Amino acid sequence: MIDVSADRSLPVPRNFLLDAGPSFIAIAGVIANIIQIVTVGRVTTEGLVAFGFVVTATVVLVGYNFKRRRKVDDAAVGELNVVRSALASTFAAYRPYQDELTIVFNIGEGSTGDVVEEHHVTTALQDDSAVHWCHLEPVTRGPSQSLEWNLLKLLVNRRAISSGQAQRAVPIRLHGTSAPVLIFFAPPSATVEWMANYRSPSFWDPLRRDYSQQFEWIPPALGLDEMSKRRSPVRSITFEFRVPPSLGMLADPGPPPKGVTFRRDSTGVHEYTIHNVAELPGGEGSTVNPISWPLRLIRREGET
């Protein structure tokens, strides 16, 4: 017979470690990151980042409790909502970085196969600063398509500074109808290369159904307190559209809009590049008009 008395004699220490261990780990991580952060950047950045890591640790701990209990706790849900609201209101308009962005649209054979890849090269605005966070707002068709968080299957990675595996970034969901996310990076650096992969079910339903769809993308805006003459944190952007052979191919778009260059590679991928978002037409102030052009699908031969 196996003696389990020793196992039964330590329930309190074991439970204590299960309950308090994650808290100790999170607090230690926060302290370590704050020590790094306070040595660089402006005071406002230091305060925001320290706040962000504290709140991130809180989100992680609440999520951990969700997993352990395997049930929805109304009080914990309320805590999460308060934390997300605090993050959204604090970081919503503050973007001390510029972004070189590539968005790849993988058009699926059906609604569930629509996948988006975002490739970012994010650089701090100040020469002596570091990139601590970035915003991500998954692409939608606007009011005609809402994204459910559980269907996104968001995966965020950052490229390793040296050889080895890519380092994971920390995505925190914010409040909003378009499932906005705040991405934290640690340890920080002047330039961060990172990628987000997520699903956007039904994004290309009009193209599959009607063989045409008006593509539209609105550049992220800056806060009202932005003192620079930038019009968006995105400096340049490239869009790639990939169609599976089973659906057909994209038709020649004709002359691209002003400020946009077009390229088509040997595999049929359509690529549109805007080298300077600031030069795009827009309204008064710093706003930029939506980027928009039509896409038309040529059905594969023999399809009726």
**Tens digits of residue pLDDT in 148-206:** 888 899 999 988 776 666 677 888 888 766 788 989 887 788 999 999 999 999 999 99
Residues ≥6 apart with Cβ < 8 Å to 57: 26, 27, 29, 30
> How far is C-alpha 230 from the geometric centre of its chain's CA atoms?
21
- The C-alpha torsion from 84 through 100 and 291 to 263, rounded to 10°, is -140
Say whether 135 sits in a helix, a strand or coil: strand
Mean pLDDT (whole number) for 82-89: 68
Mean pLDDT (whole number) for 57-69: 54
Q: Which helix (H) or strand (E) holds 271?
A: strand 270-274
Question: Closest Cα partner for 194 from 269, 119, 134?
Answer: 119
Q: Cα(91)–Cα(27) distance, rounded to whole angstroms?
A: 21
- pLDDT (0 to 100) of residue 37: 43
Looking at the DSSP bridge assignments, the partners of residue 157 are: 168, 195
**What helix, strand, coil percent values describe the chain, rounded to 5?**
30, 30, 40
Question: What is the overall mean pLDDT for the chain?
Answer: 75
Higher-confidence position of 51 and 156? 156
Is the pLDDT assigned to residue 127 strictly greater than 70?
A: yes
- pLDDT (0 to 100) of residue 299: 85
The least confident of 13-22, 48-57, 140-149 is 13-22
Is the pLDDT assigned to residue 39 strictly greater than 70?
A: no
Using an 8 Å Cβ cutoff, are 283 and 289 in contact? yes
The least confident of 3-12, 206-215, 233-242 is 3-12
Residues ≥6 apart with Cβ < 8 Å to 224: 93
Cis before 187 (ω within 30): yes
Using an 8 Å Cβ cutoff, are 138 and 152 in contact? yes
Mean pLDDT (whole number) for 253-280: 89
- pLDDT (0 to 100) of residue 13: 42
- pLDDT (0 to 100) of residue 154: 93
Q: Cα(87)–Cα(108) distance, rounded to whole angstroms?
A: 34
Is the pLDDT assigned to residue 30 strictly greater than 70?
A: no
Going across the sheet that includes 155-158, the strands are 167-168, 155-158, 191-199, 115-124, 97-106, 234-242, 270-274, 261-264
Is the pTM higher than 0.85? The answer reads no
Is the pLDDT assigned to residue 143 strictly greater than 70?
A: yes
